[in-house]
Copies of this chain bind each other. A is one copy, B any other.
Amino acid sequence: MEAFRAKGYEGTSVQDLVAATGVGRGSLYAAFGSKEGLYLAAMDRYREKHALPLIGILRAGAPARELIREVLLGTVDVIAQDGSRRACLIVGAAMERISHDPTVAAHVRATTTSLEDALYEVIVEARSKGELPAGRSPRDLARYLIATLHGLRVLGAINPDRASLTAVAEVALDALG
């Protein structure tokens, strides 16, 4: 997973993967079938380690704006720690692989959709409690927040400066109304 994050799919050779895992070539193929299989497994692991925790935050039940701020700032944190050395596997896959590999496309869509749905539910509930003003549709707001997360990833790859990224996240929250 780390190898793919650092070099992308095409840029990572099987030799790189052997070195990164410490596992022999044949074993890798026995376990995953192909380079693509290993890539898909890496995406699953990425989802577990990075997307599911965000969804967990959203299910914690605090005021919506705080939950969403936590998700955005948590992402800023991860980006600022990594520097630009390791990209987001999902955004990387979206840019590099999605038009060539339907299976990768399905994984990317599944991961982003699950996060989008969690955001959607938080927003709907907050609206019903009057925590957030009525305005844009919850679905559009959820998608907007997904776009913001992706935007932060790209911005962070270009310039992983914590202060800038934090400021951008705060501005993004203003759009919730």
Contact = CB atoms under 8 A, between A and B. Distances in A.
* Chain A contact residues: helix, strand, loop or mixed: helix
Interface in A96-147: 96, 98-100, 105, 108-109, 112, 135-137, 140-141, 143-144, 146-147
A98 B112 contact: no
Q: What is the total number of copies of this protein in its complex? A: 2
B100 A158 contact: no
A154 B8 contact: no
Nearest to A92: B95
A87 B108 CA distance: 15
Contact of A10 (B10, B146, B148): B10
A55 interface: no
Nearest to A108: B158
- For chain A, the bracket of interface size reads 35 or more
A62 interface: no
A28 interface: no
Contacts of A137: 167
A112 B112 CA distance: 25
Interface of A: 6-11, 84-85, 87-88, 91-92, 94-96, 98-100, 105, 108-109, 112, 135-137, 140-141, 143-144, 146-155, 157-159, 164, 167-168, 170-175, 177
Given A96-B96, A109-B159, A140-B167, 20 more contacts: A8-B95, A10-B10, A98-B158, A109-B158, A136-B167, A136-B171, A136-B174, A140-B168, A140-B171, A143-B168, A144-B168, A147-B151, A147-B152, A147-B155, A147-B168, A149-B151, A151-B151, A153-B154, A171-B175, A173-B175
